[in-house]
Chain A
Amino acid sequence: MRLLMIEDNARLAGLTVEGLARRGFSCDVAPDLETAGAALDAAAFDLLILDLGLPDGDGLAWLRAKRLTGDLPPALVLTARDALEDRVAGLDAGADDYLVKPFELDELAARIRALLRRPGTRAPVTLEVGPLRFDTSSRAVHAGARPVELTRRETDLLELLMRRAGAVVRRETIENALYTFDEPVTPNAVEAIVSRLRRRLDEAGAAGLLHTVRGVGYLMQEPR
């Protein structure tokens, strides 16, 4: 797992890299866009942490240009700007997530983990939440050492929730992911699958991970 942080404030970059190292991420630093471009050509990175307002150009414009020309790992934008307009501009330009300074390292680490769990990143094949492990290639689920038997739909739902662990997945999103266009979805279908999945996880000894946010959706999160 290799991260590249593009940040011109050397002290901030140093402290962030150090903090991320304590959390198990190895991170290189580029002080400007030119160095970053060279680093990306030289090595493969799993994630970019990009500060806006660099000395040699606009980070968002750079990101947009890079996205157009080739493949770029997911990018997390760090900035002191907090207006919504900037946020929208950032996400349009190809940033995958956004964190406003002053950030907390725990939050930065959580966002990094979430981005690395997304499908398409070459990073982890095993999703983990608490004692629960999901192997994305074999689609096998374990709670601790114990295998958990799930139906196809339950497995799909679990993968969806585990890929976005720590964030609420809206019920409409689940409906769209689990059912095809022409499949009729009864109003309570999602609730029914979730409650079956929750029962199986409880039985397997992985209770208290799957939370309901009534009226919104569902959330996989380990207790603190």
Chain B
Amino acid sequence: MRAGSISRRLTIGMALVGVIGTTLLFLFVAIEYGMTWSTFTDPGELPRVTRELSEHVLMPVLVLILPMTLLARWVIRTALAPLAGAAAQIDAASGMARGFRIGTDPLPPEARPFAQSVNALLERLDRAAADQEAFAADVAHELRTPLTLLALEADRLEAEPAARLRGDIGHMRRLIDQLMLLAQLDADLAARIPQAPIRLADLAADVAGRMAPLAIAQDRRIAVEDEGAPEILGRREAVAAALRNLVENALRFTPVGGTVTIRVGPGATLAVQDEGEGLSPERLAQLCRRHGRGDRASADGAGLGLAIVDRIMAAHAGTLAAGPERGTLRLRFPPAGD
């Protein structure tokens, strides 16, 4: 059942009181002054009837009902104002670290149980976020040590298949890294980790600098072109991971001797352009679905990589889009202050 608004219910209630009150008063007045059905039908009696009724029925009803209605509306508005304040508090807290609770003191006692329930819910959410983070850390620890051992054992082997084995271990490692990043991101979102200002040009140079040695070893280049971008608000490590995923992706599609270009701006954007064929918007949307079925191209973790980028962008109220230039994927952020 849907409840109507309090004002609406108040109006209906007051109207009901008015009707009942008027009817009762009318009956009393009629009996008191000895009015009968003939009195009302007699045109000679009309001035008296009108006077008596307006004096003893209409006036009292109006005098009572009108101030009561206004007062009741005022009481309801002022009583509910702290709730609106609490709602504003909750909205404003969306960027805050965990541990946020509604202040119950300004609320009327009738609304406190509700606020306390909301606080209990917030606490459960905080605990769930903490549990998930701890679980992600556990998974990482449990998986990484055996994988390290596996990699170390594989390093001792000299036969030709050992190289393939090491390649497979490398893939597993990347996949685990990406899964961990996703878990971390989800936990951060639940925990409402605060955002910090990020200089995109600086971040791009950082990511390019870290990835260039490997790219150069594979005879590919990475370049940064800074066309000017404003500061954005976000989580630096997450945005860097998004950019890193795009560059890794681009390197895979760039032929030997080619260059992957990171373009910073204009505006709050980061674009990564490779010298490959590029992705159609449909293919991009397909790769961004975390559980995309019928996609066999993600054996090397590429599909998961773009799904992670998409999630990171969503967490920053931004977008990941293909184009418009060929072979370009673009991250677009809302400018800081939005």
Which residues of A does B touch, CB under 8 Å?
9, 11-12, 15-16, 18-19, 22, 53, 80-84, 100-105, 166-168, 170, 211, 213-217, 219, 221, 223-224
A219 to B148, CA, bound (A): 29
Q: Which of B237-291 contact A (CB under 8 A)?
A: 237, 262
A166 to B210, CA, bound (A): 10
Which of B173, B222, B262 sits near A102, CB closer than 8 Å? B173
> By the criterion CB–CB under 8 Å, are A105 and B144 in contact?
no
Q: Which of B138-189 contact A (CB under 8 A)?
A: 140-141, 144-145, 147-153, 155-156, 166, 169-170, 173, 176-177, 180-181, 184
Please list 23 pairs of residues, one from A and one from B, whose beta carbons are closer than 8 Å in the complex, sorted by A's number: A12-B145, A15-B153, A18-B152, A18-B156, A19-B152, A19-B156, A22-B155, A81-B140, A83-B137, A100-B177, A101-B144, A101-B147, A102-B144, A102-B148, A102-B150, A213-B209, A213-B212, A214-B223, A215-B205, A215-B208, A216-B205, A216-B222, A224-B217
Which of A104, A167, A213, A223 is most buried by chain B, counting CB atoms within 10 A of its CB?
A213
| Binary A-proximity of B38-70 (CB < 8 A = 1, otherwise 0) | 000000000000000000000000000000000
Q: How many residues of B contact A (CB 8 A)?
A: 41
Which of A15, A19, A168 sits near B212, CB closer than 8 Å? A168
> By the criterion CB–CB under 8 Å, are B216 and A211 in contact?
yes
CB distance from A13 to the nearest CB of B (A): 10
CB distance from A7 to the nearest CB of B (A): 10
Interface of B is mostly: helix
> By the criterion CB–CB under 8 Å, are A170 and B173 in contact?
no
Q: A80-B140, A81-B140, A105-B152 are in contact. Are A215 and B225 (CB under 8 A)?
A: yes
> By the criterion CB–CB under 8 Å, are B210 and A105 in contact?
no
Residue ID in chain B nearest A168 by CB atoms: B209
> By the criterion CB–CB under 8 Å, are B152 and A15 in contact?
yes
Give every chain B residue within 8 A of A16 (Cβ-Cβ): 152
> By the criterion CB–CB under 8 Å, are B148 and A101 in contact?
yes
Give every chain B residue within 8 A of A223 (Cβ-Cβ): 217
10 closest A-B pairs by beta carbon, nearest first, are: A215-B224, A15-B152, A214-B223, A168-B209, A102-B148, A84-B237, A102-B147, A101-B144, A80-B144, A80-B141
Extra contacts, 5 of them, besides A11-B149, A18-B152, A168-B210 (Cβ < 8 A), are A81-B140, A102-B147, A103-B151, A168-B213, A170-B205
Which of B137, B223, B237 sits near A215, CB closer than 8 Å? B223
- B98 on interface, CB distance cutoff 8 Å: no
A17 to B319, CA, bound (A): 46
Give every chain A residue within 8 A of B169 (Cβ-Cβ): 102
Give every chain B residue within 8 A of A224 (Cβ-Cβ): 217
Give every chain A residue within 8 A of B205 (Cβ-Cβ): 170, 215-217
Residue ID in chain A nearest B149 by CB atoms: A12
> By the criterion CB–CB under 8 Å, are B212 and A216 in contact?
yes
> By the criterion CB–CB under 8 Å, are A12 and B152 in contact?
yes
Which of A9, A82, A104, A166 sits near B213, CB closer than 8 Å? A166
A15 to B262, CA, bound (A): 39
A104 to B137, CA, bound (A): 20
Give every chain A residue within 8 A of B213 (Cβ-Cβ): 166-168, 219, 221
- B221 on interface, CB distance cutoff 8 Å: yes
CB distance from A191 to the nearest CB of B (A): 14
> By the criterion CB–CB under 8 Å, are B145 and A83 in contact?
no
A215 to B223, CA, bound (A): 6
Give every chain B residue within 8 A of A81 (Cβ-Cβ): 137, 140-141
CB distance from A8 to the nearest CB of B (A): 11
CB distance from A112 to the nearest CB of B (A): 15
A21 to B211, CA, bound (A): 28
Which of B166, B204, B209 sits near A217, CB closer than 8 Å? B209
